[in-house]
Amino acid sequence: MSTDKSEVLQGTLDLMILKTLHALGPLHGFGIARRIEQVSEDVLTLNEGTVYTSLLRLQQQGWIDSEWGTSENNRKARFYAITRRGLKQLAIETENWKRISGVIGRVLRLEGGKQL
């Protein structure tokens, strides 16, 4: 069960990172994490280690690229950007998420005594 939970959370975080990079352009890891937290209205608190693990996985898939640059604090930082392959994957994952969240919504609306 915990493996399934981890996979769902990883996939969800990957989707949110891809969408953030698509919407905002290149960002460093800290900026990505803070933006997702802001959009979630602080419902989500992201561990930087988890974000960087996801960024590494996305880069290995070829869905994002990175290059070194200077942050707004004048510090050296790795900036990530979505690739063409990443855009295609974002479209696929967005459709999957819509379908799955629709199913979850229907299940949650079930009344007592009704069968699936």
pLDDT tens column, 28-44: 999 999 999 999 888 88
What average pLDDT does this structure show over 4-30? 82
Reported as type and span, the H/E element at residue 93 is: helix 84-108
pLDDT at site 6: 38
Compute the distance between CA of residue 93 and CA of residue 61 in angstroms, rounded to an integer: 14
User: Measured between alpha carbons, how far is 43 from 2 in angstroms, rounded to an integer?
Assistant: 21
CATH code for the domain defined by 2-108: 1.10.10.10
Mean pLDDT over each residue of the chain, to the nearest integer = 88
- Residue 8 pLDDT > 60: no
Model pTM score: 0.83
Which residues lie across from 57 on neighbouring strands?
none
Element (H, E) at 81: strand 76-82
Domain extents for the chain? Answer: 2-108
User: In the chain, what percentage of residues exceed pLDDT 90?
Assistant: 71
Residues 65-109 pLDDT 10s: 999 999 889 999 999 999 999 999 999 999 999 999 999 999 999
